[in-house]
Structure 1
Amino acid sequence: MQNLELFFLSILTLSIFGMLFILLGYLTIRKAVDIKRRERISHYKEQYNPLLFFMLTEGSYARGLTPETALQQKAIEELFSRYTTLLEGEEEKTRLSELASLYLTDFYRRQLKSKRWSTRMNTLYHIEDFHMSQLLEDVSRLLRRKRISREELVHVLRILAKFHSKQMFELLTKEFDHLSEYDYRNILIRMERRQFDQFILHFHKSNISLQKAILDIISLKREMTYLSFLERIFESYNGEIKLRALKALAEIGYVKNVEPYLELLYSNKWEERMVAAKLIGSLKDERGIQRLIELLHDQSWWVRSQAGQAIDQFTNGKEILRSVFETSNDVFAKDMAWEWLHKGV
């Protein structure tokens, strides 16, 4: 019985070693194939790079840049990717987009139909980077896939926004109204002004995540054009939406009537006190100085920090902070005044 057990154990051990040997052989062969593949791609890149550089700088076409195999197309793709990070002039970027369209359009059309998620995603990244707007319809078709991942969906919508697709308003307000605030921001930031303004007009009917994203985009753009819109939102909404509108106004640094915002410095919500302090600092309205000094003694560190920054923006801000540091009995106020006195020193 014991001999039989030893026999089976020996067989099992040999089987495991055999499987490991086969796996090692497979990995060795795979590595060798990958190395050979990279060598060929590198060879093609060295061959194509002078031609591509000539076309990008001279604005003309050259013979010899006609990829026929997948490896040749991969080489051209990698060269284009490299140049997207190097080129700064709009004319050169336009040429790169034209060349990518010329040499990679058919290849990417096939790639978008791939069953592999990673292949489709990588293709989407390249289409966006190379600004291949002629593939707009092909990218749109991905939205009709029965199974589409969240990452793929958001990236498709990003590309459609960047290429000024006329579908964007319907897509974001009806078909895909379940996205996160972060996803909406990622999409909206790529829109042109006329497209974005459609969402401003539809603001009151939008879901809260889209509303927050719209206000955040205005904060980033800091355009005075949206001042009246922001003030209406501030007056008619409560909670987080009101706060986001206030943040956007603080970023723009201008309001028509400062009185309501001075009152907000006394809000029982620390978030509103903090953002109001930021706005008054941007406006440099001296009527708010005394309250800002009081906010240096606030229970919230965020409010104290923002009050210190706001005071520092005034012409005599350093003198005010020094006075607080020397005369206040509040250790937290003294610490914050000292911090802003030495900020950037």
Structure 2
Amino acid sequence: MVSIVIWTVIFLFIVQLCLVGALVVSKIQSLKEEKLISRYVEEYEEPFFHYLERETEECPDLPRDIRDRVLIVEQLLNRFVDQTRVEIEYTRLQETAHTYLSRSYRLFLKNGSWAQRVNTLYYIEDFDMVDLKQEVWQYFSRLSVLDEEYRQAVRVLASFQDERVIRLLLNSEMIPQRLVKQVLRRFQDDLFQQMVMVIEDEPGRVPSQVHLAVVAYCGERGSLDDLPFIERMLQFPSKEIRLKALRSLMELKACTDPEKLTRFYLSDIWEERMYVAKIAGRLKWESAQDPLLKLAGDSHWWVRYAACEAMKNLPDGHRLLEYTYNHHEDKFARSMARQHLTVKVGEAI
């Protein structure tokens, strides 16, 4: 019995020793390969960059081993995209990526590990490999879990201006608002305007997170062409949509008519009162003096702060703050006005 235990322990020890040995050999081999690839990258960087920048029409002769060649080209193209400060000539970049990477990337999308597939998707977008758009869509159609693989596939398709992404956004209640905005940032104007048209023509068809993302993105991208759409969203029944529209107006620093915002000074929703005060200040509306005086005595601290901050931005703002400090009936309004009068430039209250 004792001998069986001893032999079992010896056997397990030998197995562990073999496993450790295999791991060590694998690590040594991996480090050796990484060192070889790094040496190749340094060797080929200058002539390869000359080729990508069209300073020469001859592409350097790369190693014949396909696996090494893929790793080398990936690193060289990635380094080129990261380091190039001038406008990249994507045609040569695309041609090179297509020549050396497309075939391998098709295989990776079908049979690669999860990490390999995700990395491949990032490279496909970085290298603008539009020739793989259909393969990415077919691969994406098989995904069911909303993880990083799913998100990056959507971002790639949006970068390639695939109109099927619009249908995807309109038919999914699961896509988060953050991902929708990432898609919108990649859309060119014609696809973005298609989203706007759907919202205006069929608002009930649009999932709420998509609607919110589109209205918010209008402020982020800063185009005055979106102003009429944003102002129409101020009439929307949803509080969240109206708040996004007000924030977008604030970011745009524009409004066609102050009267369109008058009702928000008296809103039951304190965030709406805060945003309209901020907008009045940024646009320096002298007509907003009386509403801002009332909002300086609001029950919410953030509204009082926004009202006094807005007063300070008006042409006669200092005098208005002094009047609020000396004569306002609300003690909290007087306190907030005093803080804005005494705070130094660049300091926060």
TM-score when normalising by structure 2: 0.85
Aligned to 1:43: 39
Equivalent pair of 1:324/1:337 in contact (CA under 8 Å)? no
Q: CA deviation at 1:143?
A: 2.4
Q: 1:172 to 1:147 in 2, by over 3 A?
A: closer
Closer, same or farther: CA 22–233 of 1 in aligned 2, 3 Å: same
1:193 aligned partner: 189
Q: 1:30-69, aligned counterparts within 5 Å?
A: 30-68=26-64, 69=66
Q: What code does the residue aligned with 1:122 have?
A: N
Q: Tell me the residue number matched to 1:253.
A: 253
Q: CA deviation at 1:282?
A: 2.1
Find the aligned partners of 1:150 and 1:260 in 2 and give their Cα distance.
42
Residue 133 of structure 2 aligns to which amino acid in structure 1?
A: L
> Percent of aligned positions with the same letter in both sequences?
27
Give 2:272's aligned amino acid: E
Q: Secondary structure at the match of 2:128?
A: coil
Counterpart of 2:29, as a letter, is V
Going from structure 1 to structure 2, the CA distance change for 1:105 and 1:312 (only over 3 Å counts) comes to: farther
What's the Cα RMSD here? Answer: 2.9
Instruction: Report the Cα offset of residue 158 of structure 1.
Output: 1.4
Which amino acid counterpart does residue 258 of structure 2 have in structure 1?
V
In the TM superposition, 1:245-324 aligns within 5 A as: 245-317=245-317, 320-321=320-321
User: 1:91 and 1:32, CA in 2 relative to 1: closer, same or farther beyond 3 A?
Assistant: closer
Name the CA shift for 1:65/1:238 in 2 (closer, same or farther; >3 Å): same
**Structure 1 range deviating more: 235-244 or 84-93:** 84-93
Q: Is the 8 A contact 2:305 2:336 kept in 1?
A: no
Q: Which residue of 2 aligns with 1:127?
A: 124
Tell me how far apart the structure 1 counterparts of residues 291 and 45 of structure 2 sit (CA, whole Å).
Answer: 63
In structure 2, the residue matched to 1:107 is: 104
Q: Which moved more, 1:121-130 or 1:280-289?
A: 280-289
Q: How many Å apart are 1:22 and its aligned residue? A: 3.2
CA distance 1:304–1:167, shift in 2 (3 Å): same
- Which letter maps to 1:244? K
2:160 corresponds to? 163
Per the normalisation by structure 1, the TM-score is 0.86
Residue 22 of structure 1, aligned match among 18, 21, 24: 18
Deviation at 1:193, TM superposition (A): 0.7
Q: Is the 8 A contact 1:44 1:72 kept in 2?
A: no
Give 1:97 shift: 3.4
1:313 CA drift (Å): 3.0
Task: For 2:79 and 2:342, locate their aligned partners in 1 and report how far apart those are by CA, in whole Å.
Answer: 43
Give how far 1:214 is off: 0.7
Range that drifts further, 331-340 or 226-235: 331-340
Q: Distance in 2 between matches of 1:292 and 1:341?
A: 22
